[in-house]
Structure 1
Amino acid sequence: MHHILCGLAANPALPSELVDRLISQADDDLAEDLADDLACRADLSRAQALALAGRVEEGAVRLAYEGRLTAADVDPAVRPDVALALLDQAAGASHPEWARLIAADPDHERREKLAACPGLPPDVVDTLAADPDVRVVAELALWTTAQDLVARLAAHPHAEVRRAVAANEATPPAVLAALLTGDGLPAARQCLVCDREEIPFVHDPECSRPDCDLLAGASCDGSHESTVHNLREAAIRNPATPVEAVVAFADHPSMLLRWALATREDLPRQACARLAADAVPGIRADLAENPALDETLIRVLADDPDPAVRRALAHHPRVPLDVLVRLAATAKVAATLLPRVAAASPAEVEDLASSPNPAARVLVAHRRDLPPETRDRLAEDPDAKVVKALAPHPGLTEAQLRAIVERHGVRVLAKVATNPDATPALLDELTRREPPVQKAFREIARHRAAPASALLACLTDRQARPLAAGHPSLPPTVIAELLTDENWQVAEAAAANPSLPVAVMSDLAWRQ
C-alpha cells in the first residue's frame, strides 16, 4: 500500500482534503518517501507544509530545501537538521546563533554539514577550523571562500585537510602550486590511514570490515602517499591551479594524474601533444574533447586506432566538419546532435544537408531548427539513417510521417513516435504495425497526444506499461484496475495519474 500512497501524494489532481489525509498518515516507518512526495507538491499550502513539517523530520528538511519553511518556523535546538537545511540555503544567515549552536553539536556529521554552509559567522568558521574531528575541518577547507583561511589550512598537519584545500576553487593559485610541490609548506604529519592503522599499511580493496570506510587502495608508509596522490589529482583538476604548475604531470607515471591533466582546458600545445600520444586510450579520449586542442592535433586523433577516442573527438566544439563527417562514418558518433553541428552556420547546414555522403546528412538531420525546405528534403532521403535522425523534427506533417514509416518501416518507427506533431491516429496505427517495435511502445506511452487505444496497446509491453499507467488519456476504469498490478511501479504510476477518479483517490487515502 505504501507505493500507492506515494503515487497519490504525487498526483497533481489530488484534492486538498486528501492531501491533509495523507499528511496525517506520514508518521510510520515508511513516512520518508511519502513525506518527500508531499513536500514537492506545487499546491501545498502553508498550513499543510507546517503540518507535514511537524510530523516528519525528513519532510521538514525537504520543505526547508523547497523554500516552504522560514527561520521563524524552526527551533534549532529541537530540529537542528531542519535548521541546517535553512543555513545551507542561506535562509538562516540572519541567525548566526543557529550556526554557533550547531558548531557545538556532539554529532560530527551535523558539524560537517555546517562547515559546507555559506555565509557562516567568522567565529563559527574559527571554531570549525579547530574542530577535533578532521572530517569537519576538511569539509570547511573544501567549501570556504575565505582565501586567508584556505591558505592557513594548506599548512594543516593533516593531509586530508590539505587535499580538500587542493580541490577548493577559492584557494589562491600560489597556494595550489605549493600544495603540488610541497615547497614552502611543512610536511604533513597525519592522514586518514595512519590515524587508524599501524604503518606501513595498504588497504585491501576486498576489505570485509563493516566499520571500515577507508578507500580501496588507501595506503601510508609514513609519507601519506595515497592522500598526497589524491591531493595532486584534485589540484590538477582545479582550474585555479596555474597551468605552469601542472604541465609537468603530462609525463608522470601515475595514469590518474595524467588523466586529470587531459581535462584541463588551458593546456599549452606541447602538453596536449604529449597526452595525445599517451598509451592509455581513456586519456586520449578525454583529451579529444578538450577545447585546448588545435586543429593539427584534432586531425592526428581522428586517425586514432581506438574508436572511443574518435567518438570523443566528434564532441569537440571546433572539430572541422570534414573530419567530423569522416568520424561519423567510422566511429558511430551520429546518434545525437553534436556541438559542432549545433553551431554550424546556415551555409554549413546546407552543405551538410546537400552532401552526397549520407554520414554528413545524418549529422545535420539531428538539428531541430532546420529550414522547412531542408527538413522536407531530408524527410525524403533514401537513407534510413538520415530519416531516422530527422523523424522527431517538429513541423513534419502527418502525411510526411506516414510516408516515412511506409518507406523505412521498423527502422524509423520509434523515432516517428517521438515526433511532437504525431497525431493520435498515427500513434494508434504505430502500435498495430507488424512486426511490433517495443521501443516504439515506450515512446508512444510518453507522448502527450497518445489516445486511449494506443495506450491500451502499450500496456501489453512490460517496459511501456508503467509509462502508460501514468498517462492521463488512459480510461479511468483501466487506471483503477492498474492499482492492483503486480508491478509496484505500474500501481504507483496509476495512483499518480491525474485522471484517476476522485472517489477512488478518496478510498485509497482513507483505506489505511
Structure 2
Amino acid sequence: MPTPEEIWAAADLPARRLAGVALNPSSPEDVLLRLLADGPEAVRMVLCRDRILPDAVVEAALHHPDTRTRSFFARNPHVDPAQRARLVDDPEWFVRAHLAAGPKVPVGGTPRPLPDETTVYMIDTYEDELLHGTIYPHVSPELRRSMPTHPVAKVRRLGVEMWDQLPATTRAALLADDDEGVRDRAERHVRLQDPAWVERELPAHSCHARWDLLLNRALSRAVVDSVLTAPVAEGERAAIAANPSLPADVVVLLAADPDPKVREEIARRTDLRPAELRALATDPDPKVRLALSVHPALSEEERDAIDYEVPGGGYFPPYRDSYTPRDPRDVRRNADSRHPLLRRRAASDRSLPPDLVERLASDDDLGVRVLLAQNHPDAPAPLLLRSFLEYDGDERAHLTTRPNFPTTGLAAYADHDDPELRALAALDPQAAPATVARLTRDPDPAVRAALARHPNLPQQRLGQLLDDEELAHVAAANPALDPEVMHRMVAMRGEWR
C-alpha cells in the first residue's frame, strides 16, 4: 500500500490542481462532495486529512466506501475530534489503527484529544497492536489524572505507569487490585524499587534496559561499585550520577570526579549538601557552574556569585501542555529570578498570569521572550513579531500560528534578505497585488508557494500559475479562484481551459 508521500508523488498535474481545489477555503460544498466521490486518491487524501470540512462532507467521508479515504479522515487534526471518534467501530482495522495513531500536527502542536468515552472504549476493546505507543495523544489531562483509579481495568493498567507520582494509598490499592494485569504492573514497579531485584536483572552488556536501570531504578551498592570500578560502557558514571538512589558518599565522590560530564550531572541533583554546592559553584568547567547556578537550594545572591554564562542562541520550542501543573509559587519565583534560565522556565508555562506575561514580554533575554511567545496563549502581538524577527530556530514558523500574531503591515518585509521574512507578506491582507505577483517569482520556493495562495494575487497571474508544474496545486487553493473555474476543473478532471 503506498504511503501518503508516494500517493502525492504519483499525482499528475490535473490531479494536483484538483487537490488545490479540495483545500481551497472558497470551494463550494458541491465541489467538495464531487471531489470526495470520484476524485483521484491524492485529492481525497488532502481533502479528508488537511482541512476543516462542512458537515455534509464529513458525513460523506465517514461513510465513504474506500477504506483509505476513511483512514485519511481519521487522522484529520482540523475537524472536531468527536467527528473522528465516529470511526471508532469502523469495520476495517486499517481505519481503526489510524484513529488510534491520531492526527499529525506541526512541531509543538498538541492534537485535540478524542472524547474521554471514546478513548476509554479504545483502551478497553482495541487489540494491543492497534494501541501500542499510540493512545497517549488522545488522553485528556482529566482522563490521565483519573487513570490509576478508573473503573475500567485496562485504563487502570495504564494508570499504573504514573507510579512515581501516585500517593501511597493509590499504590496500595493497585497492588491489591482485582485485575491481574493491574497487579502485575504494580508489582513490577515495586520490584524496580528493590535494589536486589535490579542487581539480578541488570544486563551485563550495554543496552537500553541496562541504561534505564542505571538512570532510573534503585541501585544496590554492588551495582554502584561495579560502575565506579568497571563500567560496561562510556558514560555510565554520568548515568548513575543522576540516579535518585545514589548513596550520599558516592554523591560526594562523584562531585569531584575528573570527568566534567559526571560533575555536571551531579550538579543537577536536589540532594547536594552545602560542601558540594560550594565546590561545584567554583568548578573549573563552565557547564558544571551553569548547571549548578539554577540549583533550587541557592538564594539569588548565591546564584549571582557564581561565574556562569548562558550560551547565546539556543533551542526555544513550543511545549505540549503538561499533565502535571506547575506550582504557581515556583513559577513566580522563577519569573522573579535574575537568572535567565529560571525565567525561561517560567516563560514556558502556559498558565503564566497576566502580570508576569507583561513583564517577561520585555525581558532582555531572547530565550525568555521566544519561549513566552511560543507557549503562552495570550502572548501579545508585538512580542510575537519581535520573536519571529529575532529567532532563527527550526520552530520559528510556529510563531505565525499563534492566536495574536499580527498580519497588518507584514508586506513591508517583502524585500527583506531573509526569505522567511519575505514570506510574511502572505499573511498581510493588505499586500499590494503587484507585490504579491512579484513574490510568486521569488528565488525561494517557500516564498513562491506562500504568495501563490494570497487572495490579492491578480487573476492573470493566478491563471498562469494554474499551468505551473510547481505551483498549480497552491494556486488552485487560492480563495480568489473563480468558482466557475473550480466547477470546470471538476467537470474536466483537473483541466481548466
Place the TM-score, normalised by the shorter chain, in its bin: 0.5 to 0.7
1:502 equivalent among 470, 483, 489: 483
Residue of structure 1 in register with 2:200 after alignment: 182
Deviations 1:133-176 (A, max 9, x none): xxxxxxxxxxxx99844876xxxxxxxxxxxxxxx888322256
2:51 maps to 1:41: yes
Q: Percent of pairs identical after alignment?
A: 20
Q: Which residue pairs with 2:68 in the alignment?
A: 57
Matches within 5 A, 1:4-403: 4-25=17-38, 28=41, 30=42, 34-35=44-45, 37-45=47-55, 46-52=58-64, 54-57=65-68, 59-60=70-71, 62-63=73-74, 67-68=83-84, 70=86, 74-75=90-91, 79-84=92-97, 91=118, 112-113=129-130, 148-149=180-181, 171-175=188-192, 177=194, 180-182=198-200, 226=205, 229-236=207-214, 241-242=217-218, 251=228, 253=231, 254-255=233-234, 257-258=236-237, 260-261=239-240, 323=303, 329=309, 331-332=311-312, 343=331, 348=336, 394=380
| Contact map agreement 1:10 1:41 (CA 8 A) in 2 | yes
Relative to structure 1, the CA distance from residue 389 to residue 224 in structure 2 (aligned partners, 3 Å threshold; closer, same or farther) is: closer
Structure with more contact order per residue of length (Cα contacts < 8 Å, sep ≥ 6):
2
| Partner SS, residue 188 of structure 2 | coil
CA distance in 1, matches of 2:335, 2:66: 62
Distance 2:473 2:186 in 1: 43
Q: Which amino acid aligns with 2:84?
A: R
User: CA separation in 1, counterparts of 2:473 and 2:121?
Assistant: 41
CA contact (8 A) 1:4 1:491 kept: yes
Residue 232 of structure 1 contacts residue 257 of structure 1 at CA under 8 Å; is this kept in 2?
no
TM-score normalized by structure 2? Answer: 0.52
Task: Give how far 1:462 is off.
Answer: 0.6
Could you tell me whether the CA contact under 8 Å between 1:441 and 1:464 is conserved in 2?
A: no
Contact residue 35 and residue 59 of structure 1 kept, 8 A: no
Q: Say which of 434, 437, 441 aligns to 2:422.
A: 441
Q: CA 1:372–1:39 in structure 2 vs 1: closer, same or farther (change >3 Å)?
A: closer
Deviations 1:405-438 (A, max 9, x none): xxxxx989999x989686744x3444346xx344
Q: Secondary structure at the match of 1:12?
A: coil
**What amino acid maps onto 1:42 in structure 2?**
I
Matched-pair contact (CA < 8 Å) for 1:288–1:309: yes
Partner of 1:215: none
- Contact persistence 1:39–1:59 (CA under 8 A): no
What displacement does 1:337 show? Answer: 10
1:337-380 deviation per Cα after TM superposition (whole angstroms, max 9, x unaligned):
9999x94559947x79xxxxxx99x989x89977899799x79x
Contact map agreement 1:86 1:92 (CA 8 A) in 2: no
- Comparing 473-482 with 12-21, greater Cα deviation is found at 473-482
* Aligned pair partner of 1:462 in 428, 433, 444: 444
One-letter amino acid of the counterpart of residue 331, structure 1: P
Q: Is the 8 A contact 1:49 1:63 kept in 2?
A: no
- The 3 A distance-change label for structure 1 pair 50 and 59 is closer
What is the root-mean-square deviation in Å for CA atoms of aligned residues?
6.2
Query: Structure 2: how far apart are the matches of 1:3 and 1:296?
Result: 68
In structure 1, stretches of 5+ residues that fail to align are 103-110, 126-144, 153-167, 184-222, 353-358, 405-409
C-alpha deviation, 1:43, in angstroms: 2.0
Contact 2:317 2:371 in 1 (8 A): no
Letter in 2 for 1:38: C
Larger Rg: 1
1:232 counterpart SS class: helix
Q: TM-score, normalised by structure 1?
A: 0.51
Closer/same/farther in 2, CA of residues 480 and 257 from structure 1, 3 Å limit: farther
Give the aligned residue type for 2:484: A
Gaps of 5+ in 2: 1-12, 102-113, 136-150, 158-176, 319-325, 374-378
Note the C-alpha offset of 1:496.
3.8
Q: What amino acid maps onto 2:421 in structure 1?
A: A
5 Å-filtered alignment, 1:425-440, equals 425=409, 427-432=410-415, 436-440=417-421
Residues 248-273 of structure 1: per-residue CA shift (max 9 Å, x gap): 68737233555555665786766666
> What is the number of equivalent residue pairs in this alignment?
388
